[in-house]
Amino acid sequence: MKALSLRPYHGSVFIAADAEDYQRGHKRLFATPDVLTCATAGRFTGGEGKDGMWTYLVFATEPHVLAHELSHVLFHVFERCGMDPRDSGGEAFCYMLGQLMLEAKP
């Protein structure tokens, strides 16, 4: 798993390398299994991590799926912060999505 920064927001986001990495990471981070099928192209999960901070785990098979799943993460982060992702033309959302996509690159 690869850890990405959510700065300036609180929490952690991890990108799984593949489906097996996602399933192992889910068990380690959230103490529960999440079994993916062979048809699963992407998934995001969020919950309280062991450090008490909100933690997200993302799996995606393609870059466009990764953008989709990271968008779910950001919508959730913004909701928890009381922010509307559409404010200021969506600039904060777009900036964060671009930053996460750059950090997620292998």
pLDDT digits (tens, 9 = 90+) for 55-101: 999 999 999 999 999 999 999 999 999 999 999 999 999 999 999 99
Question: What Rg value do the Cα atoms of the chain yield, rounded?
Answer: 13
| Residue 31: predicted pLDDT | 87
Mean of the per-residue pLDDT values for the chain?
Answer: 92
| Residue 53: predicted pLDDT | 84
**What is the model's pTM?**
0.91
